[in-house]
């Protein structure tokens, strides 16, 4: 690398812009002065003897040199001012970035002015801060909700043990009943922790891929669903196979969560309908899994809320509150799509689309 260019690259951006502006201005001025000097010299030599023309040209050359030096200094000053004004928004971005912290994500540039490259940079920076703020708030809500959800079964277990041990006349049957309730509490904790692990794993992305038939996964999920004789559960494959490309364990969890959610939030004499299909879109094969169910009416404003962690349908809903959150996270990790609709007749209609195997 040229040593001069190397030194220039180490200069601050303002100094480099100033040097560039001054160099261009000086070069253009030099060209004009050289042309003017040449024209003047030709004219003087045609009209005057060399003895008279040479001293005049020497004085003109000196004056032109002074003009060049003066204009170069002026160009440096003007270039410094222009570079400072041009970089002022960049300084505002830097100052805001230094002020931003976990507790001060409300800082914004809100830059006015023409829609140029600097304005685009400032708007992009503000949009990034908006995303960071929303992400941090969601993370804080998640941690608070997770702490509450973990504390609830632990408190119940502690209460059961304390009450039973405080009774010196507790019978064997009472101790056994306490043990069963503690076991149920630990099962609830285990389900919650497993859900949290799946959610965290899905947010890290997909490490392994295999050919998965969603129809088979749906049948297994229906077979493993909680027993409920009053509900009609059915699987309806619309194509011979519904092959998706992804992590078999995670995609199996999607089917289980959708069916389990449809069974839990239902009504006596209700139904759960599972459909699978395979097709081609945008030059690639896609597999779809649709789970619809009867049940209470879900307000339209709650559709987006119920896919958030620990949100349940109904104030006293059962389950960990992670079912649909895990579904959306796993589908997103696989590059798929999740669509949730709340029919006016009640219940939910959830459709997930997943990329199929590459040909």
Classify residue 41: in a domain, yes or no: yes
Residues 161 and 261 grouped into a single domain: no
Residues 151 and 220 grouped into a single domain: no
Cα–Cα distance for residue pair 194/205, rounded to 1 Å: 17
* Among 181, 203, 225, residue at a domain's last position: 203
Q: Report the domain count for the chain.
A: 3
Classify residue 60: in a domain, yes or no: yes
The H or E element that residue 258 is part of is helix 248-264
Residues 60 and 193 grouped into a single domain: no
Residues 167 and 221 grouped into a single domain: no
* Per-residue model confidence (pLDDT) at position 90: 79
Cα–Cα distance for residue pair 212/130, rounded to 1 Å: 38
CB 287 within 8 A of CB 356: yes
Closest CA to 233 of 290, 277, 274: 274
* Per-residue model confidence (pLDDT) at position 281: 84
Residues 137 and 262 grouped into a single domain: no
Cα–Cα distance for residue pair 100/125, rounded to 1 Å: 12
Residues 263 and 281 grouped into a single domain: yes
* Per-residue model confidence (pLDDT) at position 316: 44
* Per-residue model confidence (pLDDT) at position 160: 85
Residues 131 and 78 grouped into a single domain: no
Helix pair 172-203, 117-166: axis angle to 10 deg = 170
Burial label for 46, CB within 10 Å (0-12, 13-18, 19+), is exposed
Residues 137 and 13 grouped into a single domain: no
CB 339 within 8 A of CB 351: yes
Classify residue 108: in a domain, yes or no: no
Residues 173 and 240 grouped into a single domain: no
Classify residue 109: in a domain, yes or no: no
Cα–Cα distance for residue pair 226/256, rounded to 1 Å: 11
Which residues are within 8 A (CB) of 280 and not within 5 positions of it... i.e. 6 or more apart?
286
Tens-level pLDDT at each residue, the chain (359 residues): 555 555 656 777 788 888 888 888 888 888 988 888 888 888 888 888 877 778 888 888 888 889 888 888 988 898 888 888 878 877 877 887 787 776 677 777 777 777 777 788 888 888 888 888 887 777 777 777 777 777 878 888 888 888 888 888 888 888 888 888 889 888 878 877 887 787 777 777 788 889 999 999 999 999 988 888 889 999 999 999 999 999 998 899 999 999 999 998 898 899 999 999 999 887 789 999 999 999 998 888 888 888 887 777 654 455 667 888 889 989 998 999 999 999 999 999 999 999 998 76
* Per-residue model confidence (pLDDT) at position 103: 67
Residues 305 and 331 grouped into a single domain: yes
Residues 125 and 14 grouped into a single domain: no
**Beta-strand relationship, 337-341 and 349-355:** antiparallel
Within a 10 A sphere around the Cβ of 342, how many other Cβ atoms? 19
* Per-residue model confidence (pLDDT) at position 6: 58
Classify residue 86: in a domain, yes or no: yes
For CA atoms 237, 243, 247, 249, the dihedral sign is positive
* Per-residue model confidence (pLDDT) at position 317: 52
What does the CA dihedral 283, 216, 259, 336 come to, rounded to 10 degrees? -20
At 197, which CATH number?
1.10.287.130
Domain of residue 32: give its range: 3-99
Residues 232 and 318 grouped into a single domain: yes
């Amino acid at each position: 690398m040229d040593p001069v260019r190397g030194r220039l690259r180490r200069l601050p951006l303002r100094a480099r812009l100033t040097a560039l502006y001054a160099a261009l201005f000086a070069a253009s001025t030099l060209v004009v002065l050289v042309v003017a000097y040449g024209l003047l010299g030709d004219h003087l030599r045609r009209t005057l003897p060399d003895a008279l023309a040479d001293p005049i040209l020497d004085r003109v050359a000196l004056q032109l040199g002074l003009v060049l030096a003066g204009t170069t200094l002026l160009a440096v000053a003007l270039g410094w001012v222009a570079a400072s004004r041009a970089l002022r928004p960049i300084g505002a971005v830097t100052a805001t970035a230094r002020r931003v912290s976990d507790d001060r994500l409300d800082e914004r540039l809100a830059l006015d002015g023409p829609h140029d490259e600097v304005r685009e940079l400032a708007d992009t920076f503000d949009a990034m801060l908006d995303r960071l703020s929303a992400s941090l708030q969601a993370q804080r809500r998640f941690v608070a909700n997770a702490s509450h959800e973990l504390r609830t079964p632990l408190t119940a277990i502690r209460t059961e043990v304390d009450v039973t041990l405080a009774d010196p006349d507790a019978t064997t049957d009472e101790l056994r009943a306490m043990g069963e309730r503690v076991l149920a509490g630990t099962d609830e904790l285990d389900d919650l922790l497993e859900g949290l692990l799946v959610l965290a794993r899905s947010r890290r992305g997909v490490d392994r891929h295999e050919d998965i038939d969603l129809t088979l996964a749906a049948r297994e999920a229906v077979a493993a669903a909680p027993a409920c004789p009053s509900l009609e559960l059915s699987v309806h494959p619309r194509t011979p196979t519904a092959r998706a490309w992804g992590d078999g364990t995670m995609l199996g969890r999607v089917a289980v969560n959708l069916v389990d959610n449809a069974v839990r939030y239902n009504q006596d004499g209700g139904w759960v309908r599972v459909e699978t299909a395979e097709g081609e879109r945008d030059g690639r094969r896609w597999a779809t899994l649709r789970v619809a169910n009867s049940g209470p009416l879900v307000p339209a404003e709650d559709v987006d809320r119920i896919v958030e962690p620990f949100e349940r349908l109904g104030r006293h809903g059962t389950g960990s509150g992670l079912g649909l959150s895990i579904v959306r996270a796993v589908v997103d990790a696989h590059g798929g799509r999740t669509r949730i609709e709340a029919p006016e007749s009640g219940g939910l209609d959830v459709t997930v689309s997943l990329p199929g195997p590459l040909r």
